[in-house]
Amino acid sequence: MLNEFVYCARLYYYEHVIGEFEDNADTVEGRYRHRRVDQETGTPPSPEALDIPESEDGAQKTLVSTSVWLEAPHLGATCKIDRLEIRDGLAVPVDYKRGKKPDVPGGAWEPEQVQVALQALVLRENGYKCEHAEMWYAESRERVRIPLTDELVERTQRFLAGARAAYRSEEIPPPLEDSPKCPRCSLVGICLPDETRFLKAFRVSDAALSKKPRRLVPEKPDAGPLYVQQQGMSLGKSGDVIEAREKGKVVSRTRLLDVSQVAVYGNVSVSTPLVRELCDRGISISYLTYGGWFVGMARGGEHKNVGLRIRQHRWAEDSARSLELAREFVRGKILNSRTMLRRNHAEAPEAVLLELKRLAASTSRSKDLGSLLGTEGAAAKVYFRSFPGMLKSELPEFDFQGRNRRPPRDPINALLSFAYSLLTRELTVITASVGFDPYRGFFHQSKYGKPALALDLMEEFRPLIADSVVLQVVNNGEIQANDFVHRAGACALLPNARRKFIEAYERRMTTSVTHPVFDYSASYRRILEIQARLLGRLLQGEIERYPAFRTR
């Protein structure tokens, strides 16, 4: 890990202090190149027994061991040596790299030089004679000799002390500035270097800053959710594939590589080997009732970023800070509701648009969460009063007379409730994966089983994602009046209609949108993660305010 500290102290902190890691093509290929030396072979002789036998031609044999773990208590370091060669009584650590030998002085970058120098120092403390180390570049098939000079030893010890201090610190090292290292870093979507620096310099009074952040994260995640709602279905694992079985017959196969999360509705069984594999890969399994109510979630070990959760709970206990955050959530929701009406209403009433604008502005004057809740409720009434103007269907079944729930009593409310449940589950998974406690919020107050933080972050996206999907499926005729069941005053979607709605929801989540602050495009699913991570930056003191997502 020392080479990562030398390369980028922030990368080291995220990976080894907070416990964040994400694969990319480079890390996967690196593991593949390492597959041989990662297997333990051979046993290095003790330093006292280095009388290596000679070969038939009189030359001493080279003794080779791979994946050798050594500790150096005095130095305070532990290392794994890819390949340890004993030649002529000297120990030579050899480190494997997947790429080509770089055209730099010494034939190796500084992080790699420091890494092998540390291995050499660990060998010395264990009694071995070590005068140099070597690098092996797999792509160019070249070896580079790294002499263990006094200057390199001093640098290595200095970096080791710095890494140890960073490990004990609660402060995340600052991001690199406009660095060429960032685009190919596997943690760039977690680190958000340009976004963090941009927001650190951002002031509310600034109309715009001259240099917008680079879009370093992929526009869309490679993997997506797997939804299973067919009752009686069972999920199992076969190799690296999830198999869905119905009445013992395989009906679908999905590569684990393509799955970011699993959501099962009602009576669906998941095998223990699959649960274990998903947990090992950090893929969450959400359990919901047949009707879509969130029941619980299974995932790997709790996120290691306990410092973030401590700060989250401290902020939640601070009424002034909670109110500051809640204002941003509610203001974002109201302004996005106004945008929805302006874009989709046949003739958006000017009075309604002005009232929503006034209510959004009034959030900054709310003195407590109670008054802010009143403002949010008033804005919701104004918005939903005009909601029918965005519906193109003239069918009486889709007549919308206002919001009702628990249970919804008409098709539009049934669709809205189902959409909100999908979005709540999504943000519960995201907030947990970032390191938050999804059940401790700032605007929504904590109650048993209520994912308050997920509901907080969801506010600004209710109109843009959930309401938008409802309008789409109704106005495009994807959902018809006969797609609902009415019973005892309640209305619910039939299974086939629910499948169609989930497909529409996923289309919306993969739709690209321009981030209003950073001015780059990303899918809504990526935006949700970015917003959650920006909230974490605020709580950890890296930025001064949370920038609610407000579409133009």
State the DSSP code for 104. S
Question: To 10 degrees, what angle do helices 369-385 and 319-344 make?
Answer: 10
Return the pLDDT at 296.
79
Return the pLDDT at 39.
57
What does the block give as tokens for 546? 């949370």
Q: Higher confidence at residue 497 or residue 218?
A: 497
- 338 Cβ contact list (under 8 Å, min separation 6): 353, 356, 357, 360, 383
Coil/strand/helix, residue 526: helix
Dihedral sign of CA atoms 259, 426, 485, 346 in order: negative
Return the pLDDT at 207.
43
406: left (phi over 0), alpha (psi -120 to 50) or beta: left
Mean pLDDT of 424-447: 90
- Contact between 95 and 135 (Cβ < 8 Å): yes
What does the block give as tokens for 208? 């715009």
Phi and psi, residue 439, nearest 5°: -95, 0
Instruction: Tell whether the model's pLDDT for residue 325 goes beyond 70.
Output: yes
Taking the C-alpha atoms of residue 217 and residue 345, their distance in angstroms, rounded to an integer, is: 34
Nearest to 335 by CA among 352, 354, 360: 360
- Contact between 469 and 421 (Cβ < 8 Å): no
Phi and psi, residue 373, nearest 5°: -60, -35
Residue type, 436: F
Kindly indicate the confidence band of residue 286, based on its pLDDT and cuts at 50, 70 and 90: confident
Taking the C-alpha atoms of residue 422 and residue 248, their distance in angstroms, rounded to an integer, is: 29
Domains of the chain listed by start with CATH number: 2-168 (3.90.320.10), 224-298 (3.100.10.20), 306-539 (1.20.120.920)
Query: In this predicted model, what pLDDT tens digit does every residue of 387-427 receive, in sequence order?
Result: 888 888 777 778 887 888 788 888 889 899 999 999 998 99
Binding residue per annotation — 154?
no
Binding residue per annotation — 132?
no
Return the pLDDT at 376.
92
Question: For the whole model, what pTM was predicted?
Answer: 0.82
Query: In this predicted model, what pLDDT tens digit does every residue of 137-176 receive, in sequence order?
Result: 888 888 899 999 999 999 999 999 998 998 888 888 888 8
**CA-only gyration radius of the chain, Å:** 28
- Contact between 546 and 326 (Cβ < 8 Å): no
Instruction: Tell whether the model's pLDDT for residue 337 goes beyond 50.
Output: yes
Phi and psi, residue 470, nearest 5°: -60, -45
How many CB atoms lie under 10 A from the CB of residue 188? 21
Kindly indicate the confidence band of residue 208, based on its pLDDT and cuts at 50, 70 and 90: very low
Phi and psi, residue 546, nearest 5°: -85, 125
Return the pLDDT at 49.
56
State the DSSP code for 399. -
Give whole-number Cα distances, 445 to 76, 370, 373, in Å.
46, 11, 11
Displacement of CA 40 from its chain's centroid (Å): 33
Contacts 24+ apart (CB under 8 A), 491-494: 491/407, 491/408, 491/409, 491/410, 491/411, 491/413, 491/414, 492/291, 492/407, 492/408, 492/414, 493/414, 493/415, 493/418
Taking the C-alpha atoms of residue 534 and residue 308, their distance in angstroms, rounded to an integer, is: 12
Ordered alpha helix ranges (H), 363-446:
369-385, 411-434
Binding residue per annotation — 313?
no
- 63 Cβ contact list (under 8 Å, min separation 6): 42, 44, 45, 52, 85, 86
Sheet holding 294-298, edge to edge: 224-228, 259-265, 284-288, 294-298
State the DSSP code for 59. P
Instruction: Tell whether the model's pLDDT for residue 465 goes beyond 90.
Output: yes
Q: Show the CA angle centred on residue 202, arms to residues 200 and 207, nearest 5°.
A: 170
Query: In this predicted model, what pLDDT tens digit does every residue of 8-48 receive, in sequence order?
Result: 898 888 888 887 777 655 565 555 555 555 555 656 666 65
Instruction: Tell whether the model's pLDDT for residue 218 goes beyond 60.
Output: yes
Mean pLDDT of 427-450: 88
Query: Helix, strand, coil % (nearest 5) of the chain?
Result: 45, 20, 35
- Contact between 284 and 262 (Cβ < 8 Å): yes
Query: In this predicted model, what pLDDT tens digit does every residue of 516-538 receive, in sequence order?
Result: 888 888 899 999 999 999 999 99
Kindly indicate the confidence band of residue 53, based on its pLDDT and cuts at 50, 70 and 90: low
Kindly indicate the confidence band of residue 539, based on its pLDDT and cuts at 50, 70 and 90: very high
